[in-house]
């Protein structure tokens, strides 16, 4: 089974802090994605990566950056956390034309 692990299930950070959300997959998938999920808005794509050191902006990249130094790890970075970034963050991976596999989500609260 594919395993996608997000480093934290719940996280509380202060406004202005630099926040790292980590995602690790164990199946050598090329594609990795970061989504945020908000009530009434569904899942929106923040950033994705086709390969190591490759990244592309999704639909809502403002206020976020990403890092993929190793194939199995994809990090989402909030350079200066703000309260409007309070949300559920979901990491996903995919290989080829197969379906995407998701992590368990990180519920981030910025106070």
Q: Which of 25, 31, 75, 85 binds other proteins (CB under 8 A)?
A: 31
Residue 89, classified by CB atoms within 10 Å of its CB into exposed (0-12), middle (13-18) or buried (19+), is buried
Contact status: 40 vs other proteins (CB under 8 A) = yes
Q: Which residue has the tokens 């368990």?
A: 104
Determine if 61 is a binding residue for other proteins (CB under 8 A).
no
Taken in order 96, 62, 52, 25, the sign of the CA dihedral is negative
Q: Closest Cα to residue 67, out of 79, 89, 52? A: 52
Return the residue of 43, 63, 65, 72 that touches other proteins, per CB under 8 A.
43
Q: Which two tokens stand for residue 105?
A: 């989500």
Closest distance of CB 55 from other proteins, Å: 13
- Contacts with other proteins by CB under 8 A lie at 31, 33, 35, 40-45, 48, 50, 58, 88, 90, 92, 94, 97, 99-100, 102, 104-105
């Amino acid at each position: 089974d594919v395993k996608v692990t997000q480093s934290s299930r719940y996280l509380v950070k202060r406004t202005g802090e630099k926040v790292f959300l980590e995602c690790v997959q164990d199946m050598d998938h090329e594609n990795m994605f970061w989504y945020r999920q908000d009530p009434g808005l569904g899942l929106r794509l923040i950033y994705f990566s086709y390969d190591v050191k490759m990244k592309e902006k999704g639909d809502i990249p403002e206020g976020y950056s990403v890092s993929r130094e190793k194939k199995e790890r994809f990090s989402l970075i909030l350079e200066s956390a703000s309260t409007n970034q309070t949300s559920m963050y979901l990491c996903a991976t995919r290989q080829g034309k197969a379906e995407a596999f998701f992590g368990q989500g990180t519920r981030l609260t910025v106070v």
